[in-house]
Amino acid sequence: MTNIAWPRPWDHWFSPKHVSLPSTCCCNGLGYYRMQAPLGHPLFGKGIPCICKTDEIEARRAQELRRWSGLQDQQFFDLTFSNFHPEWSVPVDGMSKTKVFEEMTKAKRACEQYAKKPDGWLVLIGNVGSGKTHLSCAIANEVLKGGRAAHFNSVAAMLDLLRASYSCDSFDEWFERLQKVTVLALDDLGAERGTDWAREKLFELVDYRYINRLPLVVTTNLSLKDERIDLRLRSRLAEGSQAQKRGWTRVLPLVAGDIRPARIWKPALEG
């Protein structure tokens, strides 16, 4: 491009993506508008997305992200941070109600912080019904609401999804999506059927995110020393977990019992 002294703002707007969005719709329903850029300028005659078009694109993208996220309506609307109540947590192992409330409040806060800035890996370990799935879903929900891609699924369901993708020749596409998605949340590690194929694909997936340092959330009822989890996975999931600062993995114990028998559910779309 020749060095032409375009009057402002033309000197720093060289493509439609550089143009600031108008505060109100200015396209008369067309979705795009043109600016009176000087002849020869890169924006001359170019259609620029109006704010109404941009909002439509973002809404469509958010819908697509959610559809692919693995979250059902019930999970999307109910399993959020606002609906996670530490005061409902069930005490176990002689721990007082107050102590359980304090520890579960800390766990919720840690998950909220992670959702705002996913960095490293987060492993939630606890009893059945302690809130692991709820918190991992809440993380995925927050990531999606922020316009970033997230995928939540149980390990078993994710492996079933991959198996089914073979029949429609989409395995490579799905596997790459799972490898590269902004935040991947895998629920109930260790409960999946331990075939050689399942172990290998799960390892390949986790190892890709390990090598490329991509965020991962894992929930499990098992200790990271439990031999029901592949040794290679245990090693990667435990990296930095004992480091006091800046360890790659943070292991978060949920010290509560099963809340499900006392929980009251509301319809997902109620209100």
Q: What residues pair up with 218 in beta bridges, in sequence order?
A: 123, 186
- One domain for residues 79 and 39: no
- Kindly tell me if the per-residue pLDDT of 38 is higher than 50: yes
- One domain for residues 78 and 54: no
Which pLDDT tens digit goes with each residue over 212-255? 999 999 999 999 999 999 999 999 999 988 887 778 999 999 99
76, 160 in Cβ contact below 8 A? Answer: no
**Separation of alpha carbons 11 and 21, rounded Å:** 17
Only one residue has tokens 């395995």, namely: 171
Range of the domain at 207: 69-262
- One domain for residues 29 and 115: no
Listed in sequence order, the residues at least 6 apart from 244 whose beta carbon sits closer than 8 Å to its beta carbon are none
* pLDDT at residue number 204: 96
Q: What is the pTM for the complete model shown?
A: 0.74
* pLDDT at residue number 263: 63
- Kindly tell me if the per-residue pLDDT of 172 is higher than 80: yes
Strand residues in 127-182 grouped as ranges (E): 150-154
* pLDDT at residue number 240: 87
- One domain for residues 164 and 43: no
- List the single range of 10-19, 74-83, 174-183, 249-258 with lowest mean pLDDT: 10-19
- Number of structural domains found in the chain: 2
For residue 259, what are its two tokens?
């809340």
* pLDDT at residue number 244: 72
* pLDDT at residue number 136: 94
